[in-house]
Amino acid sequence: MEEWRQCGRWLIDCKVLPPNHRVVWPSAVVFDLAQALRDGVLLCQMLHNLSPGSVDLKQINFRPQMSQFLCLKNIRTFLKVCHDKFGLRNSELFDPFDLFDVRDFGK
């Protein structure tokens, strides 16, 4: 199974995506997963589900409506928590613009 499909299944297992989300449809492509993640909301919810309290949910805009400013704020919050609370190095993380612009999604 392709890694992005495994990621989609894992997000469902973590109760971040619903079980019937399009990322698990047979016709799904990697862009479907990127689209689901690119506003940063699901990423922050995932961290909260994995470690309650790790993300201050009051700081997350749950309806960014693809506003670049709000989406990037959410993504940066996710990356900061990954670094500060989960111990990931900056070299292990991605650039916020890469996710928002769906560039180098494999990273």
- What's the rounded mean pLDDT across residues 10-26? 95
pLDDT of residue 105: 77
- pLDDT interval class at 82 (50, 70, 90): very high
- Name the residue among 66, 76, 62, 61 with its Cα closest to residue 34: 66
pLDDT digit string (tens) for 32-50? 999 999 999 999 999 999 9
**Is residue 107 pLDDT above 70, yes or no?**
no
**CA 22 – CA 91 distance, rounded (Å):** 30
Q: Map out the domains of the chain with their CATH numbers.
A: 3-100 (1.10.418.10)
Confidence (pTM) = 0.91
